[in-house]
Every structure is written in structure tokens, then in C-alpha cells.
Amino acid sequence: MTTQQHSNVDVHGERQDAVSHMCGITLNDSVQGREIVKVMEKKPGIKITHYPSMIRIDGEEKLEFDMKELSEALGRDIDPYDFTIEMATHYGRMVMFDDKIVIFGRLEDALPYETGDEES
């Protein structure tokens, strides 16, 4: 299995080759998007970036969006399919369950779910 490497230039202009295990989503900057951000910003290791018309949520290795938790914050039921309407884009490997969406930064972590070999 191979891991994609990205070339980066650091603040000193030196080239740095690094493997990224980051993952994330971009949400529309909406009432619903802001409520989702309020839930996620309480979690450790989450970075929130606000742009004029969108909000980005980034994490390292794994992001988990629990639909029950988001439903409580929104004041209405939301399922994974409704969540994808709020989500403009994502990066990482997305796995949808009935009650949550998990985005993995490492392919190896997502593969068991994509091949059906996950342990319950």
C-alpha cells in the first residue's frame, strides 16, 4: 500500500516532504453550518476556519459527525444524507453509517469499512 506524499515549502523556503493524515469538510456558511461548527469546535484536535461564504472543519486522522448530537444542536432530526447537503466538499475517506459520518485521514483506517471487513 502506498501513501501519497505532498511537497511543501516551510516558512524558511525549505522544501519539506510530508505525509498528511488530515481530513476535513467544507460547509456552507449557514445557520445549520454554524450549529454544526458549534458542536465540532468542542472536540479535541479540531481546527475551524471561517471564510466569507463557507466554514472549514479540519482534523487529523479522523473526524466523526454524530447525527444524534447534531440533531440535538439543530433542533431537528438530521441523517447522514441531510448532512451531505450542508457539506460542500470533503477530503479524506468518507464512510457513512446510519447514525454518523466518519472521515478518515488514513486510507488504511477506512479500508475495513469499504471492504466489509470492519469489526463490530
Confidence of residue 8 (pLDDT cuts 50, 70, 90): low
> Which pTM value belongs to this model?
0.79
Res. 105: pLDDT tops 60: yes
| Number of structural domains found in the chain | 1
Question: Is residue 15 a part of any domain in this protein?
Answer: no
> What tens digit of pLDDT does each residue of 9-68 get?
555 566 556 667 899 999 999 999 999 999 999 999 999 999 999 999 999 999 999 999
d(CA 67, CA 90): 17
Confidence of residue 7 (pLDDT cuts 50, 70, 90): low
C-alpha cell at 91: 477530503
Judging by beta carbons within 10 Å of its beta carbon (0-12, 13-18, 19+), is residue 61 exposed, middle or buried?
middle
> What tens digit of pLDDT does each residue of 52-95 get?
999 999 999 999 999 999 999 999 999 999 999 999 999 999 99
Q: Which domain holds residue 111?
A: 21-115
Question: Is residue 90 a part of any domain in this protein?
Answer: yes
Name the percent of the chain lying above pLDDT 70.
Answer: 80
Confidence of residue 114 (pLDDT cuts 50, 70, 90): confident
Contact 26, 88 (CB under 8 A): yes
Kindly list the distances between the CA atom of residue 12 and the CA atoms of 7, 18, 19, 85, in Å, as whole numbers in the listed order. 14, 16, 19, 40
Question: Is residue 47 a part of any domain in this protein?
Answer: yes
Question: Is residue 16 a part of any domain in this protein?
Answer: no
| CATH number of 43's domain | 3.90.56.10
d(CA 41, CA 38): 6
